[in-house]
Structure 1
Amino acid sequence: MAAERNQKLRSANRAQLTKLFQRASSLMSDEPSVENVETLDLTYELIEEKMDYLKTLDERILSKLSDEKMEDGVAEADEFMFSAKEKLRRIRKHKENIQSEERRSEPSISNAPTPSDDPPRSNMKRNYRLPKLILSRFDGNLLQWPAFNDDFVSAIDENETLSTIEKFQFLRAQLDGEAFSTIAGLQLTANNYENAKELLRERYGQTHKIINAFMRALWELPRPDEDIKSLRFFYDRIETFIRGLSSLGKEEQSYGELLIPMILDKLPANTRRQIARAHGNNEWSIADLRSTLKSEIDALQAGEIDGFNQEKSYRPTAAFFTNSNTKKTTNKPKRKMKCAFCKNEHSSITCPVVSEQEKRFEIAKRDNLCFNCLTPNHSSRKCLSKFRCRSCNGKHHTALHAKQNSEPSAAQKAREPPAVEHAASTFTQGAKNQRNVVLLKTAIVEVSNKQTPFQLSATSGVLFDEGATRSFITEELVHKLQLQPTHSEEINLSVFGMDCKQPQTFDIVTISLKTTSKEFVDINAVVVPEISAPLHNLVTRRIANLSHLRNLRLAHTPSDDRSPFFVSVLIGADHYWDFVEDTIVRGPGPTAVASKFGYLLSGPAHSDDYVTANDTAFHVMAKQRNAEDDTLDKFWNLESIGIKDNKQTVQDPSDFQNFQRNYIEKRDDQYVAKLPWKTDHSPLPTNYRNACHRTRNTVRKLPVETRRVYDTIIRNQEKRNFIEKTC
């Protein structure tokens, strides 16, 4: 079946190639004009693509032929390809003749006609050729659709010299990605050309969708940096999107008031101050903001002085090596590494300033950098660099490699700790004092364990703290619900800047919280002995009866009982917004925030009541540790011997004697020391000659007075038996 399909494909493409040659022949016989020459160029490119495809089909077909038919098949394929190449050569020769005639027909200054000899402009023949027309491509980006549609309609769709099939072929050739997949199922026929255009217009040509895409692009513009290139790119993108909206009938007056605070918020603080100083205290309009921003960028660019920040390079006075083989050094300055994204002196791959891949792509596009070598003024297709991505061997720079995030299975999650590093989480209540009533976001929630057959549950106190990056649960509630840990993590505890203790292992459990809609929401929590000291119950009926809280369902049931309130679960920022909603109710008293458990109260109650509270605080930094971390710790501990303070306070006097007896010996008036932590290490090569050579060179470079001072000090130490001669 595959062989028959390849035969049919080859026959169809040969027939189409013959038609293209006929069209090219017709164009060559016509009077040369700009339109005919451009159409001939497009036909020539399409013929080359067809011939390359036919070569591939010939190879497939010939590989399936038997030995008896192989010779005839090769001869037939070569004969057709020879004829096609001969016709293609004639077309190329015709194009070269046209170009040479155009060059000869260009008037020079010496023989330029006088004004009196100029023929009427209506009778003048255009003998010059316009630049080659390059059609834009479309990959499904709605922002590119208006420009692509206009280009294609004017150059291809309205070109009467092209047949419907050829227009369809040009359309397919200019589509990529999602856009190409939209019409990929349509056969290459004249009837399907209109169907293809209709499908593309239906998916990408709707005005409201394009307007939404432009508005979203404006909203998601990356924040510019302080440098001029970044600000200029930011301004140009705003202008492009606003003009695009204007071409779609969406004037800036209809959305300018929403756009102004977004633009001001994204600008660097220094730029905001400068344009505010220039504009004064008047109300902004989008036109004024664009004009003022452009003036500020022009002023910054005019104030630049080339070479002002040029750094001086100094030649090092000495360089030390640990190997015995040396090479001659030259005075050629070493080329400094420069990051393509932040312009600092470090590798672009490990840039700490611009670490997000999308931001790096934006900078590469803005500065017209090659995606393969990150140098300007050429594309990756024309890049001559032989280097490839170190991660996937693709033709792009390693700094632009997309990091793949693979979601582990449930079984893997149960066996392994999550490979994430958590920022510090903080919970604070203050110090022991007398103060006004201040409410925290607390709730009384039913907490369940779905893993048990009877789904054990308990009503517990929950504290919401968006300043904490992790959620916690007390050991007491874990034992009560018979929760089993899913995995464990090592956590370093630190309090108010004190030194971190040794990492401790904490269990992670999964609990289910029941909402007001009777649904259960699962969260992961770190098991700790205690979350906080007991809190006073501050949600009283008097507070619940305030005018702005009277008809609200509170998450913490009001009660006049001032008995202690125990926090068994703390919900941090990792699950905070899974429960907290957008509605906020303010009034004379605490503020209410809607949640899935009811309204949460927080803030001062503005009452005459005073409470005494014991405030506690803890600071948690959670980080996964693995075997590689332990190996790295051992390496740095080894490298820091003699540099960092030794924490060992008790030392056995026999250790030094044992080191002298077993690891130090004197050979030929020289002391030889062994490595006490690696007795089986092979002898290291001697650096004696290098040391003597470099020492003598250093001494020769010293001033005479300095050498005399050194000589006096050394002789004095030798006399006092601090040092002794070894050579």
Structure 2
Amino acid sequence: MVKLTKTNNVKLPTIQLPKFGGRYEDWLEFRDTFVSLIHENQGIVDIQKFHYLRASLEGGAAQVIRSIGFSSCNYKIAWDLLCDRYNNERLLIQNHVQSMFVIEPLKRESALGIRSIIDIFSKNLRSLHTLGESTMHWDTLIIYLMNSKLDPKTSRDWEERKSTLNKITLNDFMSFLKNKADLLETIHINNNINKYKNRNDQIKGLLNTNIYIPKCPLCKNTHKIYNCETFLNQSISDRIESARKLKLCNNCLRPGHRVHKCKSGSCTKCSLKHNTLLHKEIGSSQHVEPPVDKATALSVQMTEPVLLSTAVVYILGSDNQRHDARAVLDSGSQASFMTQRLLHKLNLHCQKTQISVTGINSTITQIFKNN
């Protein structure tokens, strides 16, 4: 890391030194950068240069100078040892040429893959030129090698393109690849825009489907039944009948459940469990209670009067005289009653007296006063 000085009161950004791990194809870039920033910088002492050098090396490159003691006088020794190890032009040329041959061919059209091929070949050709190789005469060889790394579609497009050229150069081929990559990127961007647009259209379509705006079960238009003019124009009795035929809940006018399971509010007029549109005022000539579900019918309490059977019985009074009386037979009663008039007629005065009613014994447990 090298911190540059201020110029005209402008703070320049910090330059990060490149890392070198021992790959020959990376050596020239690392060497030129390190020499420019550190090795030939007169404002940095040797011990600091040695520190920067050790911090920039990793892997096999770091092993080369690991055994050298960290001191000011050893910096030049470490730098020369590193240059002797990697400044081997024969090995550098061989590795840069090999880097162009070992590229994995593309299987399909890809802007990223085409640009990667362009960058790898350009970098290695510049390095070979720096090492003294006359790469300016390699156009035919490089075009053939690069074309072999392309996908079938791009390679076929190049065959069509070069048929229009009188003399084919590497610059022509590079220009073709750059235009092809630009075209693929544009198509990719447009496809993403179309996908986004189609997704929005699908969402809008869903908003307009029956999921969000159910059809009226009565007239089949896109509104709810309590907004249906046909339903609202019906009499209350007809609305109740329509709800029954359509198998709607009488409370919320929606299908799929019964009244006793409905969680919606009750009638706003009488607070009973039916929709306000099905409410009828008491005394109305059209008053008909909404149909009640079987599940709720059991919970409805009986409010109609109950008739009990009676019988004429003969009762013996205290004077052993027989008297006629009418008895009410209630099998659910737990007590026996008689009127005060009958009590005086029988000449009975006690609260609890054993009497005989046509041969059947009964006990008077309570006297009912009849005015």
TM-score (norm 1): 0.26
TM-score (norm 2): 0.48
Q: Which has the higher strand share?
A: 1
